[in-house]
A and B are shown apart, each in its own frame.
Chain A
Amino acid sequence: MFSFILRRLGLLIPTFIGVTFVAFLFIRLLPGDPIIAMAGERGVTPQRYQELVQQFGFDKPMLLQYFDYLRGVLHGDLGTSITTKRPVLAEFRNLFPATLELSICAIILAVALGIPAGVIAAVKRGSWVDQALMGTALVGYSMPIFWWGLLLIIFFSGYLGWTPVSGRISLMYFFPPVTGFMLIDSVISGQKGAFLSAASHLILPSIVLATIPLAVIARQTRSAMLEVLGEDYVRTARSKGLAPFRVIGIHALRNALIPVVTTIGLQIGVLMAGAILTETIFSWPGVGKWMVDAVFKRDYPVVQGGLLLIAGIIMIVNLLVDVAYGFINPRVRK
């Protein structure tokens, strides 16, 4: 098991270096540069442009810039944002808890609703319940996030007045962040009603962000369940007269969950992609919107650093999933 973990860790190193290179190259391949983006309509004279190019070090050979960047990364320095002049790592630390909090809520919602929906659809295969659930999943999967978010805001916040429109907590609450997780910080603050306000602000963004993973999990659960329900041991369990709940809930579902867990792990990337739009709609101060803004402003250090950190997190989660698999299924270790 130990050597299996070591092998997996060894694979991380070239992947990590590859990510630094791709992140570095990706933003530079886009046309335009930060100087032009900053100057806007005013423009910048060729002479001033050259001065700024030198100041930012963009005149150095590309490879040299890359090695400078790599050296910084190895020393824990991801550079400074060209736009805000703040260290990239500090900005990420400020914003990431918001994205993580939203993503955790979304994935809990997606799992809590997606798995039961998939199981019910499999058990009621071919019935109107199955068709309704899978039809809804297909609609959810195809839904443009931006439109869906606005629709929910207009209906639940605008028309019914049940939920707040956007933000992480009502503006009346003001306390310094301790963990960065609003649900926890609101409890720590001790301010009356703060937790309820933070929780109510999470409802709509969580629903929007959970929609696609929910649909994927429901469909995956259904197909895994259908496969398992046709196995001999399930038939045996049934023929032994076990209660349907035990057959489905214990014998079938436990085995069907293995591919579903993989799917849930893969949803982390989907959540990150969805977070970009969800955060923009709900004015959610997370890393998704931060990265998009940086791409538009050609803020090289932020795009490079942000991509690297997000990729690093995904790599670590994948490593943990691999290790967990190794524990569950010894064949994987070989």
Chain B
Amino acid sequence: MKKLALLLAASALASAFATSAWSKTLVYCSEGSPEGFDPGLSESGTTFDASSKPVYNRLVEFKRGTTDVVPGLAESWTISPDGLVYTFKLRKGVKFQTTDFFTPTRDFNADDVIFTFDRMSNKDNPYHTYVNGGDYTYYSDMSLPKLITSWEKVDDNTVKLTLTSPNAPMLADLAMDFASVMSKEYADKLAADKNMIQLNQKPLGTGPFTFVAYQQDAVIRYKANPDYWDGKQKIDDLVFAITPDAAVRMQRLKAGECHVANAPAPADIPGLKGDKSLTVMEQPGLNIGYLAYNTTQPPFDKVEVRKALNMAINKKSILEAVYPGIGEIAKNPIPPTMWSYDTKTEDDKYDPAAAKAMLEKAGVKDLKMKIWAMPVARPYNPNARRMAELIQADFAKVGVAVEIVSYDWTQYLKLAADPKHDGAVLAGWTGDNGDPDNFVTPLLSCDAVGSGNKAAWCDKSFSEVVKKAAEISDKAERTKLYEHAQAIFKAQAPWATIAHSLVVLPMSAKVKGYLQDPLGSHRFDGVDIEE
């Protein structure tokens, strides 16, 4: 036994030493496997972390740690006065990565940008359906096919984008992962070799890290791109160790098997904070957890009933029980870190007696309703069942009997999107691009009834205001419109806004220069490890 223990300890020690000799390699314990490596085909943050963030660039980028849009592969751009034409000047001398599976012969140019967007929009492009069942879902879901008239090459270093109508969030949309710029030369070579599928398996871009290998469901390896246009990274190698279980990820972090570990369980956070070898980063997430009443169903079609129910919810106790130390009370449909957040909004005051009186005044007696609780933990709601139970107890105090229902997650999503669903649904959202439009349009506009608008709430004045706000480019003007939209929302109360959760990311204290992304992704450019 003693010998076995010694042998095991020696093996563990050898690995530890070898790891330290293997300096400047950053290991990230990720939560899952990427679906593939073509970011255009996916909607998953896990896939984006493994593909678009390390390997690719976009025309414009989000500045690290912010949602500010800054130049990327386009070093500058102009927008026509009518807001319909965007002209991008492309960065010169940008090289695609050289790998053991492809050696580029030319620099990045306008052809690559045209190819990137043409494959998404043009049904005749061979890459439009190059993978079986492949679909450029984000491109479609952002309504870009309707919004974009054309992409044109002006010259090798200039491209022109023409829209059907002005759209202020367009630049932020183009900074999103799905818009990662691919190499046309690489794609053409794969097509000539009748091996197009490789575009989704072995990515090649202009980004800070070069893809090396992927062992399915186990490890993804990258090395620093020596030719990166923004300078070579401080770390030499980047490794994603795929570790699906949250508790095991944290054990790996503590044991030094990884430097950064994603998505700790809320219960583990105090322990992680107490570990001196770790740094625990946290920042308000760009998210919202809410309860959406079905506003087409009596008595929730009455504003006063919705308002009364909102007043019956004790958000403070929900925060303590469901988001211990990792949340803040929500009063608007957009999070406080988002520009145009209306600080003047007054939240519904917790007052069960007044709520009961309001319900009686509205003619509601002995109300029985359903509250839907998600069967899964989500970043914006770590424990929906517990939240539903607390709301159930709160509503009981005002004479409303609640039955909690839950379904399998895919069934839940399908049924909750149906405007005919019964009762109120616990739901939530994490932003994609830092623009307020990305919250209010997909979640609350008339067009989103039947998909993302779980309250089935169609308020024409609200929808008009947010549509107008998306069409103008003046930020101050847009801010006013979104503030107005928030006021309409608060007065109409289609949701009970519950909480915004903090995003917590534990890492080794040796990791330097990491900036948390407000959009919830994980990027390792600009990061270093202390020797």
Contacts of B219 in A (CB 8 A): 167, 171
Contacts of A32 in B (CB 8 A): 408-411, 413-414
Does A240 have its Cβ within 8 Å of any Cβ on chain B?
no
Contact with A along B134-177 (1 / 0, CB 8 A): 11010011000000000000000000000000000000000000
Cβ contact within 8 Å between A196 and B414 = no
Closest to A197 in B: B15
Closest to A153 in B: B251
Q: How far is the CA of A140 from the CA of B182 in the complex (A)?
A: 53
Cβ contact within 8 Å between B442 and A165 = no
Q: How far is the CA of A289 from the CA of B245 in the complex (A)?
A: 11
Closest to B248 in A: A166
7 CB contacts below 8 A, A to B, read: A41-B452, A42-B43, A158-B255, A170-B15, A171-B27, A197-B14, A281-B245
Q: B215: which of A33, A85, A150, A285 is its contact (CB, 8 Å)? A: A285
Cβ contact within 8 Å between A42 and B133 = no
User: Which of A31, A197, A203, A282 has the most chain B CB atoms closer than 10 A to its own CB?
Assistant: A31
Q: A32-B410, A197-B14 are in contact. List 16 more A-B contacts (CB 8 A).
A: A31-B407, A32-B411, A36-B413, A44-B417, A85-B200, A161-B12, A163-B8, A170-B18, A171-B19, A171-B241, A172-B18, A172-B22, A193-B11, A280-B244, A285-B218, A293-B32
Contacts of B377 in A (CB 8 A): none
Q: Which residues of B contact A (CB under 8 A)?
A: 5, 8-9, 11-12, 14-15, 18-19, 22, 25, 27, 32-33, 35-36, 41, 43, 131-135, 137, 140-141, 197, 200-201, 213, 215-219, 221, 239, 241-245, 247-248, 251-252, 254-255, 257, 378, 407-411, 413-414, 417, 427-430, 442, 448, 450-452
Does A233 have its Cβ within 8 Å of any Cβ on chain B?
no
Q: How far is the CA of A83 from the CA of B43 in the complex (A)?
A: 11
Does A55 have its Cβ within 8 Å of any Cβ on chain B?
yes
Cβ contact within 8 Å between B410 and A161 = no
Within 8 A of B (CB), among A31-54: 31-33, 36-46, 48, 52
Q: Which residues of A contact B (CB under 8 A)?
A: 30-33, 36-46, 48, 52, 55-56, 80, 82-86, 91, 94-95, 150, 153-154, 157-158, 160-168, 170-172, 174, 176-177, 193, 196-197, 200, 203, 280-283, 285-286, 289-290, 293, 296, 298
Q: A48: which of B140, B213, B221 is its contact (CB, 8 Å)? A: B140
Cβ contact within 8 Å between A170 and B19 = yes
Nearest chain A CB to B194 CB, angstrom units: 15
Cβ contact within 8 Å between A165 and B8 = no
Known A170-B18, A171-B239; judge A43-B248 contact (CB<8 A): no
The SS class assigned to the B binding surface is mixed
Q: How far is the CA of A55 from the CA of B129 in the complex (A)?
A: 10
Contacts of B43 in A (CB 8 A): 38-40, 42
Cβ contact within 8 Å between A177 and B8 = no
Contacts of B414 in A (CB 8 A): 31-33, 36
Nearest chain A CB to B280 CB, angstrom units: 18
Closest to B138 in A: A42
Closest to B251 in A: A165
Known A158-B255, A165-B248, A283-B248; judge A39-B221 contact (CB<8 A): no
Nearest chain A CB to B279 CB, angstrom units: 19
Q: How far is the CA of A290 from the CA of B244 in the complex (A)?
A: 11
Cβ contact within 8 Å between B133 and A85 = yes
Cβ contact within 8 Å between B248 and A282 = yes
Q: How far is the CA of A33 from the CA of B133 in the complex (A)?
A: 14
Cβ contact within 8 Å between B413 and A196 = no
Q: How far is the CA of A175 from the CA of B68 in the complex (A)?
A: 41
Nearest chain B CB to A157 CB, angstrom units: 6
What are the 8 closest A-B residue pairs judged by CB atoms, nearest first? A32-B410, A43-B451, A31-B411, A285-B217, A85-B131, A285-B218, A162-B8, A80-B132
Cβ contact within 8 Å between B413 and A283 = no
Nearest chain B CB to A322 CB, angstrom units: 34
Nearest chain B CB to A154 CB, angstrom units: 7
Cβ contact within 8 Å between A193 and B452 = no
Known A84-B36, A94-B216, A193-B14; judge A283-B244 contact (CB<8 A): yes
Contacts of B442 in A (CB 8 A): 42-43
User: Which of A45, A163, A174 has the most chain B CB atoms closer than 10 A to its own CB?
Assistant: A45
Cβ contact within 8 Å between A197 and B135 = no
Known A36-B413, A48-B140; judge A164-B15 contact (CB<8 A): yes
Q: How far is the CA of A171 from the CA of B378 in the complex (A)?
A: 29
Contacts of B243 in A (CB 8 A): 166-167, 283
Contacts of A30 in B (CB 8 A): 408
Q: How far is the CA of A289 from the CA of B217 in the complex (A)?
A: 9
Q: How far is the CA of A334 from the CA of B27 in the complex (A)?
A: 60
Contacts of A167 in B (CB 8 A): 218-219, 241, 243, 257
Known A167-B218, A171-B27; judge A33-B257 contact (CB<8 A): no
Q: A37: which of B18, B252, B410 is its contact (CB, 8 Å)? A: B410
Contacts of A91 in B (CB 8 A): 216
Cβ contact within 8 Å between B429 and A85 = no
Q: B36: which of A85, A168, A293 is its contact (CB, 8 Å)? A: A85
Q: A43: which of B12, B35, B135, B413 is its contact (CB, 8 Å)? A: B413
Nearest chain B CB to A289 CB, angstrom units: 7
Cβ contact within 8 Å between A280 and B216 = no
Contacts of A36 in B (CB 8 A): 410-411, 413-414
Q: How far is the CA of A154 from the CA of B140 in the complex (A)?
A: 46
Q: A283: which of B213, B242, B378 is its contact (CB, 8 Å)? A: B242
Contacts of A282 in B (CB 8 A): 248
Q: How far is the CA of A112 from the CA of B245 in the complex (A)?
A: 30
Cβ contact within 8 Å between A164 and B133 = no
Q: How far is the CA of A80 from the CA of B129 in the complex (A)?
A: 14
Closest to A90 in B: B216
Known A163-B8, A280-B245, A283-B244; judge A196-B14 contact (CB<8 A): yes
Cβ contact within 8 Å between A163 and B12 = yes
Nearest chain B CB to A110 CB, angstrom units: 19
Closest to A57 in B: B133
Contacts of A174 in B (CB 8 A): 213, 221
Q: B41: which of A37, A85, A200 is its contact (CB, 8 Å)? A: A85
Q: How far is the CA of A247 from the CA of B255 in the complex (A)?
A: 50
Q: How far is the CA of A26 from the CA of B235 in the complex (A)?
A: 47
Q: B257: which of A40, A44, A171, A203 is its contact (CB, 8 Å)? A: A171
Closest to A79 in B: B132
Q: How far is the CA of A82 from the CA of B44 in the complex (A)?
A: 14
Contacts of B132 in A (CB 8 A): 80, 85
Closest to B242 in A: A283
Contacts of A290 in B (CB 8 A): 217
Cβ contact within 8 Å between B452 and A95 = no
Q: How far is the CA of A154 from the CA of B254 in the complex (A)?
A: 10
Cβ contact within 8 Å between B409 and A296 = yes
Nearest chain B CB to A102 CB, angstrom units: 13
Q: How far is the CA of A202 from the CA of B442 in the complex (A)?
A: 47
Cβ contact within 8 Å between A39 and B5 = no
Contacts of A40 in B (CB 8 A): 43, 413
Known A41-B452, A43-B448; judge A83-B35 contact (CB<8 A): yes
Contacts of A197 in B (CB 8 A): 11, 14-15
Q: How far is the CA of A197 from the CA of B501 in the complex (A)?
A: 40
Contacts of A293 in B (CB 8 A): 32-33
Contacts of B451 in A (CB 8 A): 39, 42-46
Nearest chain A CB to B25 CB, angstrom units: 8
Contacts of B14 in A (CB 8 A): 193, 196-197
Q: How far is the CA of A174 from the CA of B18 in the complex (A)?
A: 13
